[in-house]
Copies of this chain bind each other. A is one copy, B any other.
Amino acid sequence: MRKRVTIHEIAQLAKVSTATVSRTINRVPTVDPVLARRIRKVIEKEGYYPNTNARALVRGHSRTLGLIVSEITNPFFPEIIQTFAKLGAQNNYEILLSSIDHDPRSIEITARQMFERSVGAVAILTFGGEAPLIDILTTRNIAVFAVDADRPRPLLKTIQIDYEHGIRQAVQHLAALGHERIAFIGGPQQLKTAAMRKFAVQQCMKEIDLELLPELFVDGDHTIDAGLKALSILATMRDRPSAVLCSNDMTAIGVMRAAFDLGLSIPQDLSVIGFDDIRLAQFMTPPLTTVQLSQTEIARLSFSGLLDSLDPRRGGSIRQVYSIKTNLVLRHSTALAPGCIKNRAATAFSESD
Protein backbone atom coordinates (compact mmCIF):
# COMPACT_ATOMS: atom_id res chain seq x y z
CA MET A 1 0.00 0.00 0.00
CA ARG A 2 3.05 2.21 0.18
CA LYS A 3 3.69 4.91 -2.30
CA ARG A 4 5.96 4.28 -5.18
CA VAL A 5 9.66 4.46 -4.49
CA THR A 6 11.62 6.85 -6.68
CA ILE A 7 15.20 7.25 -7.58
CA HIS A 8 15.47 10.18 -5.23
CA GLU A 9 14.72 8.18 -2.16
CA ILE A 10 17.19 5.56 -3.17
CA ALA A 11 19.76 8.28 -3.62
CA GLN A 12 19.06 9.72 -0.22
CA LEU A 13 19.16 6.40 1.54
CA ALA A 14 22.39 5.49 -0.18
CA LYS A 15 23.79 8.93 0.42
CA VAL A 16 24.64 9.58 -3.17
CA SER A 17 23.16 11.64 -5.96
CA THR A 18 20.40 10.44 -8.22
CA ALA A 19 22.86 10.53 -11.07
CA THR A 20 24.96 7.88 -9.45
CA VAL A 21 21.96 5.70 -8.80
CA SER A 22 20.98 6.08 -12.41
CA ARG A 23 24.44 5.08 -13.56
CA THR A 24 24.43 2.08 -11.33
CA ILE A 25 21.14 0.91 -12.68
CA ASN A 26 22.31 1.31 -16.22
CA ARG A 27 25.60 -0.37 -15.50
CA VAL A 28 27.75 2.55 -16.50
CA PRO A 29 31.22 1.13 -15.89
CA THR A 30 32.68 4.20 -14.23
CA VAL A 31 30.92 3.83 -10.90
CA ASP A 32 32.87 2.85 -7.87
CA PRO A 33 32.14 -0.82 -7.20
CA VAL A 34 31.78 -0.17 -3.51
CA LEU A 35 29.23 2.53 -4.09
CA ALA A 36 27.48 0.38 -6.59
CA ARG A 37 27.05 -2.44 -4.13
CA ARG A 38 25.74 -0.12 -1.49
CA ILE A 39 23.25 1.31 -3.92
CA ARG A 40 22.11 -2.04 -5.14
CA LYS A 41 21.51 -3.14 -1.63
CA VAL A 42 19.24 -0.18 -1.00
CA ILE A 43 17.41 -0.78 -4.26
CA GLU A 44 16.86 -4.37 -3.31
CA LYS A 45 15.71 -3.50 0.17
CA GLU A 46 13.26 -0.86 -0.96
CA GLY A 47 11.95 -2.92 -3.83
CA TYR A 48 12.67 -0.11 -6.18
CA TYR A 49 11.78 -0.44 -9.84
CA PRO A 50 12.62 2.35 -12.24
CA ASN A 51 9.64 3.94 -13.91
CA THR A 52 9.57 2.82 -17.51
CA ASN A 53 7.51 5.79 -18.56
CA ALA A 54 9.99 8.26 -17.23
CA ARG A 55 12.87 6.43 -18.83
CA ALA A 56 11.15 6.24 -22.15
CA LEU A 57 10.33 9.90 -21.95
CA VAL A 58 13.85 11.05 -21.39
CA ARG A 59 15.42 8.58 -23.77
CA GLY A 60 13.01 9.25 -26.55
CA HIS A 61 12.23 5.61 -27.02
CA SER A 62 11.06 2.74 -24.88
CA ARG A 63 12.59 -0.69 -24.85
CA THR A 64 9.50 -1.95 -26.55
CA LEU A 65 8.99 -3.90 -29.72
CA GLY A 66 5.67 -3.92 -31.50
CA LEU A 67 4.19 -7.17 -32.73
CA ILE A 68 1.21 -6.96 -34.99
CA VAL A 69 -0.70 -10.04 -35.98
CA SER A 70 -4.10 -10.83 -37.37
CA GLU A 71 -6.44 -13.43 -36.02
CA ILE A 72 -4.88 -14.31 -32.75
CA THR A 73 -7.54 -16.96 -32.73
CA ASN A 74 -5.85 -18.92 -35.47
CA PRO A 75 -3.40 -21.25 -33.70
CA PHE A 76 -0.73 -20.25 -36.15
CA PHE A 77 -0.25 -16.93 -34.40
CA PRO A 78 -0.09 -17.79 -30.73
CA GLU A 79 2.86 -19.97 -31.52
CA ILE A 80 4.63 -17.01 -33.06
CA ILE A 81 3.65 -14.71 -30.25
CA GLN A 82 4.98 -17.11 -27.70
CA THR A 83 8.44 -17.41 -29.10
CA PHE A 84 8.57 -13.72 -29.90
CA ALA A 85 7.64 -12.90 -26.33
CA LYS A 86 10.19 -15.33 -25.00
CA LEU A 87 12.91 -13.70 -27.04
CA GLY A 88 11.70 -10.35 -25.80
CA ALA A 89 11.98 -11.38 -22.19
CA GLN A 90 15.44 -12.80 -22.77
CA ASN A 91 16.65 -9.59 -24.33
CA ASN A 92 14.90 -7.35 -21.95
CA TYR A 93 12.38 -5.97 -24.35
CA GLU A 94 8.75 -5.48 -23.78
CA ILE A 95 6.32 -6.57 -26.43
CA LEU A 96 3.40 -4.42 -27.41
CA LEU A 97 1.02 -6.84 -29.04
CA SER A 98 -1.70 -5.74 -31.31
CA SER A 99 -4.00 -7.67 -33.55
CA ILE A 100 -5.77 -6.08 -36.45
CA ASP A 101 -8.89 -7.39 -38.02
CA HIS A 102 -11.10 -6.43 -40.90
CA ASP A 103 -12.18 -3.26 -39.14
CA PRO A 104 -10.35 -0.44 -40.93
CA ARG A 105 -10.20 1.57 -37.75
CA SER A 106 -8.14 -1.11 -36.11
CA ILE A 107 -5.14 -0.36 -38.25
CA GLU A 108 -5.27 3.27 -37.32
CA ILE A 109 -5.62 2.47 -33.65
CA THR A 110 -2.73 0.09 -33.87
CA ALA A 111 -0.47 2.58 -35.59
CA ARG A 112 -1.37 5.11 -32.99
CA GLN A 113 -0.55 2.81 -30.13
CA MET A 114 2.80 1.93 -31.58
CA PHE A 115 3.61 5.52 -32.12
CA GLU A 116 2.34 6.87 -28.84
CA ARG A 117 4.34 4.29 -27.00
CA SER A 118 7.50 5.21 -28.83
CA VAL A 119 8.23 1.63 -29.77
CA GLY A 120 11.53 1.32 -31.51
CA ALA A 121 10.55 -1.12 -34.17
CA VAL A 122 7.64 -3.31 -35.08
CA ALA A 123 7.13 -6.66 -36.70
CA ILE A 124 4.05 -6.88 -38.86
CA LEU A 125 3.11 -10.50 -39.25
CA THR A 126 -0.33 -10.20 -40.71
CA PHE A 127 0.55 -11.89 -43.98
CA GLY A 128 -1.33 -9.36 -46.01
CA GLY A 129 -2.92 -5.96 -45.79
CA GLU A 130 0.05 -4.46 -44.08
CA ALA A 131 1.02 -1.93 -46.74
CA PRO A 132 -0.69 1.11 -45.21
CA LEU A 133 0.67 0.27 -41.80
CA ILE A 134 4.17 0.00 -43.16
CA ASP A 135 3.85 3.42 -44.73
CA ILE A 136 2.52 5.09 -41.63
CA LEU A 137 5.15 3.56 -39.43
CA THR A 138 8.18 4.14 -41.61
CA THR A 139 7.10 7.69 -42.34
CA ARG A 140 7.26 8.25 -38.64
CA ASN A 141 10.70 6.87 -38.59
CA ILE A 142 10.10 3.58 -36.95
CA ALA A 143 11.68 0.44 -38.31
CA VAL A 144 9.46 -2.30 -39.62
CA PHE A 145 9.81 -5.95 -40.35
CA ALA A 146 7.14 -7.40 -42.59
CA VAL A 147 6.32 -10.62 -44.38
CA ASP A 148 6.51 -10.70 -48.15
CA ALA A 149 6.86 -6.96 -48.55
CA ASP A 150 7.21 -5.92 -52.15
CA ARG A 151 10.68 -4.54 -51.80
CA PRO A 152 12.74 -3.52 -48.84
CA ARG A 153 13.85 0.03 -48.31
CA PRO A 154 15.44 1.93 -45.49
CA LEU A 155 13.58 1.09 -42.31
CA LEU A 156 11.86 -1.88 -43.92
CA LYS A 157 13.21 -5.35 -43.68
CA THR A 158 11.29 -8.25 -45.00
CA ILE A 159 11.12 -11.98 -44.96
CA GLN A 160 10.51 -13.68 -48.24
CA ILE A 161 8.62 -16.91 -47.93
CA ASP A 162 9.28 -19.56 -50.52
CA TYR A 163 5.80 -20.96 -50.87
CA GLU A 164 6.59 -22.83 -54.04
CA HIS A 165 9.18 -25.03 -52.49
CA GLY A 166 6.80 -26.85 -50.20
CA ILE A 167 3.81 -26.56 -52.45
CA ARG A 168 5.68 -28.19 -55.28
CA GLN A 169 6.40 -31.13 -53.02
CA ALA A 170 2.75 -31.34 -52.12
CA VAL A 171 1.49 -31.18 -55.67
CA GLN A 172 3.98 -33.71 -56.90
CA HIS A 173 3.25 -35.97 -53.98
CA LEU A 174 -0.40 -35.96 -54.92
CA ALA A 175 0.40 -36.49 -58.58
CA ALA A 176 2.64 -39.39 -57.73
CA LEU A 177 -0.22 -40.98 -55.86
CA GLY A 178 -2.22 -40.84 -59.05
CA HIS A 179 -4.47 -37.91 -58.26
CA GLU A 180 -5.64 -36.00 -61.29
CA ARG A 181 -8.61 -34.11 -60.00
CA ILE A 182 -7.00 -31.99 -57.34
CA ALA A 183 -9.00 -29.25 -55.69
CA PHE A 184 -7.58 -26.20 -53.99
CA ILE A 185 -9.33 -24.28 -51.27
CA GLY A 186 -7.78 -20.87 -51.08
CA GLY A 187 -7.84 -18.12 -48.55
CA PRO A 188 -9.32 -14.67 -48.94
CA GLN A 189 -7.73 -13.33 -52.09
CA GLN A 190 -7.18 -9.85 -50.79
CA LEU A 191 -4.77 -11.48 -48.40
CA LYS A 192 -1.43 -11.42 -50.15
CA THR A 193 -0.22 -14.64 -48.66
CA ALA A 194 -3.35 -16.43 -49.80
CA ALA A 195 -2.95 -15.16 -53.33
CA MET A 196 0.66 -16.26 -53.38
CA ARG A 197 -0.21 -19.70 -52.15
CA LYS A 198 -2.81 -20.13 -54.79
CA PHE A 199 -0.49 -18.89 -57.48
CA ALA A 200 2.19 -21.33 -56.39
CA VAL A 201 -0.25 -24.20 -56.60
CA GLN A 202 -1.19 -23.24 -60.10
CA GLN A 203 2.41 -22.92 -61.17
CA CYS A 204 3.36 -26.24 -59.73
CA MET A 205 0.47 -27.96 -61.40
CA LYS A 206 1.38 -26.49 -64.75
CA GLU A 207 4.95 -27.57 -64.33
CA ILE A 208 3.95 -31.17 -64.37
CA ASP A 209 1.26 -30.71 -66.93
CA LEU A 210 -1.64 -31.25 -64.61
CA GLU A 211 -4.82 -29.78 -65.93
CA LEU A 212 -6.12 -26.78 -63.98
CA LEU A 213 -9.81 -27.28 -63.43
CA PRO A 214 -11.28 -23.86 -62.59
CA GLU A 215 -14.27 -25.40 -60.88
CA LEU A 216 -11.92 -27.11 -58.45
CA PHE A 217 -10.39 -23.85 -57.28
CA VAL A 218 -12.57 -22.31 -54.62
CA ASP A 219 -11.78 -19.51 -52.23
CA GLY A 220 -12.44 -19.58 -48.52
CA ASP A 221 -11.26 -17.41 -45.69
CA HIS A 222 -8.80 -19.56 -43.79
CA THR A 223 -11.28 -20.66 -41.16
CA ILE A 224 -12.45 -24.13 -40.26
CA ASP A 225 -15.88 -23.16 -41.36
CA ALA A 226 -14.67 -22.23 -44.80
CA GLY A 227 -13.06 -25.61 -45.25
CA LEU A 228 -16.19 -27.30 -44.10
CA LYS A 229 -18.38 -25.44 -46.53
CA ALA A 230 -15.97 -25.74 -49.41
CA LEU A 231 -15.84 -29.48 -49.19
CA SER A 232 -19.59 -29.73 -48.93
CA ILE A 233 -19.73 -28.09 -52.31
CA LEU A 234 -16.85 -29.93 -53.89
CA ALA A 235 -18.20 -33.25 -52.75
CA THR A 236 -21.52 -32.81 -54.48
CA MET A 237 -19.92 -32.41 -57.89
CA ARG A 238 -20.68 -35.20 -60.32
CA ASP A 239 -16.98 -35.76 -60.75
CA ARG A 240 -15.59 -34.90 -57.43
CA PRO A 241 -11.90 -34.36 -56.69
CA SER A 242 -9.91 -37.15 -55.16
CA ALA A 243 -7.59 -34.79 -53.36
CA VAL A 244 -7.83 -31.39 -51.73
CA LEU A 245 -5.04 -28.97 -51.13
CA CYS A 246 -5.78 -26.28 -48.57
CA SER A 247 -4.38 -22.80 -48.17
CA ASN A 248 -3.98 -23.34 -44.45
CA ASP A 249 -4.43 -25.97 -41.79
CA MET A 250 -7.62 -24.55 -40.35
CA THR A 251 -9.24 -25.00 -43.72
CA ALA A 252 -7.93 -28.55 -43.84
CA ILE A 253 -9.41 -29.27 -40.45
CA GLY A 254 -12.75 -28.09 -41.75
CA VAL A 255 -12.37 -30.35 -44.75
CA MET A 256 -11.64 -33.33 -42.58
CA ARG A 257 -14.66 -32.62 -40.50
CA ALA A 258 -16.89 -32.26 -43.54
CA ALA A 259 -15.51 -35.47 -44.99
CA PHE A 260 -16.48 -37.24 -41.83
CA ASP A 261 -19.99 -35.89 -42.00
CA LEU A 262 -20.26 -36.97 -45.62
CA GLY A 263 -19.04 -40.44 -44.90
CA LEU A 264 -15.87 -39.98 -46.89
CA SER A 265 -12.92 -41.49 -45.20
CA ILE A 266 -9.54 -39.87 -45.30
CA PRO A 267 -7.27 -40.83 -46.93
CA GLN A 268 -9.00 -43.75 -48.67
CA ASP A 269 -11.70 -41.71 -50.35
CA LEU A 270 -10.07 -38.33 -50.22
CA SER A 271 -6.54 -37.10 -49.74
CA VAL A 272 -6.06 -33.86 -47.85
CA ILE A 273 -3.04 -31.61 -47.50
CA GLY A 274 -2.90 -28.53 -45.33
CA PHE A 275 -0.55 -25.59 -45.07
CA ASP A 276 1.26 -24.04 -42.08
CA ASP A 277 1.80 -27.07 -39.92
CA ILE A 278 0.23 -25.74 -36.80
CA ARG A 279 0.89 -27.94 -33.85
CA LEU A 280 -2.59 -29.34 -33.98
CA ALA A 281 -2.03 -30.83 -37.41
CA GLN A 282 -0.18 -33.82 -36.11
CA PHE A 283 -2.99 -34.60 -33.72
CA MET A 284 -5.79 -34.75 -36.22
CA THR A 285 -7.27 -38.09 -37.13
CA PRO A 286 -5.63 -39.03 -39.33
CA PRO A 287 -2.54 -36.90 -38.72
CA LEU A 288 -2.54 -34.20 -41.33
CA THR A 289 0.01 -34.09 -44.09
CA THR A 290 0.84 -30.45 -44.53
CA VAL A 291 3.30 -27.90 -45.84
CA GLN A 292 5.30 -26.55 -42.98
CA LEU A 293 5.91 -22.86 -42.52
CA SER A 294 7.86 -22.73 -39.32
CA GLN A 295 6.30 -20.41 -36.82
CA THR A 296 9.27 -20.34 -34.55
CA GLU A 297 11.54 -19.57 -37.47
CA ILE A 298 9.38 -16.63 -38.43
CA ALA A 299 9.36 -15.33 -34.89
CA ARG A 300 13.09 -15.71 -34.56
CA LEU A 301 13.91 -14.03 -37.84
CA SER A 302 11.64 -11.12 -37.28
CA PHE A 303 12.88 -10.62 -33.75
CA SER A 304 16.51 -10.56 -34.71
CA GLY A 305 15.64 -8.42 -37.69
CA LEU A 306 14.17 -5.84 -35.36
CA LEU A 307 17.15 -5.97 -33.09
CA ASP A 308 19.39 -5.38 -36.05
CA SER A 309 17.40 -2.37 -37.12
CA LEU A 310 17.65 -0.89 -33.68
CA ASP A 311 21.30 -1.43 -33.20
CA PRO A 312 23.29 -1.04 -36.39
CA ARG A 313 26.37 -2.26 -34.60
CA ARG A 314 24.90 -5.68 -34.54
CA GLY A 315 26.38 -5.93 -37.98
CA GLY A 316 23.49 -7.67 -39.62
CA SER A 317 21.93 -4.34 -40.35
CA ILE A 318 22.89 -4.50 -43.99
CA ARG A 319 20.74 -7.54 -44.39
CA GLN A 320 17.38 -6.44 -45.65
CA VAL A 321 15.82 -9.56 -46.97
CA TYR A 322 15.56 -12.74 -45.03
CA SER A 323 14.11 -15.86 -46.48
CA ILE A 324 12.46 -18.99 -45.34
CA LYS A 325 11.51 -22.17 -47.11
CA THR A 326 8.40 -24.22 -46.80
CA ASN A 327 8.50 -28.01 -46.77
CA LEU A 328 6.03 -30.83 -47.03
CA VAL A 329 5.59 -32.87 -43.88
CA LEU A 330 4.29 -36.30 -44.71
CA ARG A 331 1.79 -37.76 -42.31
CA HIS A 332 -1.28 -39.84 -42.96
CA SER A 333 -3.93 -37.85 -44.73
CA THR A 334 -2.96 -38.82 -48.25
CA ALA A 335 -3.13 -42.10 -50.17
CA LEU A 336 -3.30 -43.50 -53.66
CA ALA A 337 -6.14 -42.07 -55.67
CA PRO A 338 -9.20 -44.28 -55.66
CA GLY A 339 -9.62 -45.86 -59.06
CA CYS A 340 -6.14 -44.93 -60.06
CA ILE A 341 -4.38 -47.57 -62.04
CA LYS A 342 -1.63 -47.84 -59.50
CA ASN A 343 -4.35 -48.41 -56.99
CA ARG A 344 -6.26 -51.17 -58.76
CA ALA A 345 -4.73 -54.03 -56.84
CA ALA A 346 -5.15 -52.37 -53.51
CA THR A 347 -8.69 -51.39 -54.31
CA ALA A 348 -9.64 -54.85 -55.39
CA PHE A 349 -8.08 -56.16 -52.28
CA SER A 350 -9.80 -53.79 -49.95
CA GLU A 351 -13.15 -54.28 -51.61
CA SER A 352 -13.08 -57.90 -50.61
CA ASP A 353 -13.07 -57.29 -46.89
Contacts and interface: CB of A to CB of B under 8 A. Distances in A.
A112 B73 contact: no
A283 B224 contact: yes
A73 B78 contact: yes
A199 interface: no
A253 interface: yes
Nearest to A114: B49
Interface stretch (A79-87, A121-129, A168-176, A180-188): A79-87
A157 interface: no
A49 B112 contact: yes
B51 A118 contact: yes
Contacts of A17: none
Contacts of A228: 283
Interface stretch (A54-62, A239-247, A334-342): A54-62
A348 B96 CA distance: 61
A88 to B, nearest CB: 10
B57 A54 contact: yes
A106 interface: yes
Interface in A99-156: 99, 106, 109, 112-113, 115-118, 139-141
Interface in A297-344: none
A73 B95 CA distance: 17
Nearest to A81: B72
A166 interface: no
A89 to B, nearest CB: 6
Nearest to A74: B78
A116 B52 contact: yes
A251 to B, nearest CB: 11
A187 B78 CA distance: 21
A53 interface: yes
A290 to B, nearest CB: 16
Contacts of A1: 139, 141
Interface string A196-240: 000000000000000000000000000010001000000000000
A161 interface: no
A11 interface: no
A97 interface: yes
Interface stretch (A27-35, A37-45, A254-262, A267-275): A254-262
A78 B115 CA distance: 25
Given A89-B109, A118-B53, A257-B285, A72 B62 contact: no
Interface of A: 1-4, 47, 49-54, 56-57, 60, 62, 72-73, 75, 77-79, 81-82, 85, 89, 94-99, 106, 109, 112-113, 115-118, 139-141, 224, 228, 253-254, 256-257, 260, 279-280, 283-286
Given A72-B82, A94-B96, A94-B117, 6 more contacts: A49-B115, A53-B56, A53-B118, A72-B85, A280-B280, A285-B285
